[in-house]
Amino acid sequence: MITVRDPSRDDARQRLLARLAELDARVDDIEAEQRQPLDDDFAEQAVAREDDEALDGVERAALAEIAQIRQALARIDAGDYGLCAACGQPIAPARLAAQPAATRCIACADAPAGRGAAGRAA
């Protein structure tokens, strides 16, 4: 069996891998920052703990995006990257360029919960 390389998927893979590397570095930086010992001054400790809460939120968002990117990479490997998970139609290239980990076409993403583009027509 001959495999034909899809340049758009190769490009998407490279963009996703680059973003994954950025996010992994960000998570590493956050975890290193949070491992720093607290200051002896109680006021400084309070500020540091507030900063840690903000960093926790940034870290959670980064980890969620990492999971989405890994799922997108798995879809590329499986050969179904760029197809809507709800209706099976192709996701617009512009949408994938803006959001490479997108799993739904615009119509299905905009549809009320649980109803893809096919469900809206009914």
Q: For residue 107, give the nearest of 98, 97, 120, 94 by alpha carbon.
A: 120
pLDDT (mean) for 19-43: 87
The answer to whether residue 1 scores a pLDDT higher than 50 is no
Tens-place pLDDT, residues 86-99: 999 999 999 998 99
- What is the overall mean pLDDT for the chain? 84
What is the C-alpha separation between 99 and 90, in angstroms, rounded?
14
Of these ranges, 50-54, 77-81, 114-118, the one predicted with the greatest mean pLDDT is: 77-81
Q: For residue 56, give the nearest of 23, 31, 22 by alpha carbon.
A: 31
- Residue 3: its pLDDT value, please? 42
- Residue 103: its pLDDT value, please? 94
**Token couple for 25:** 């570095």
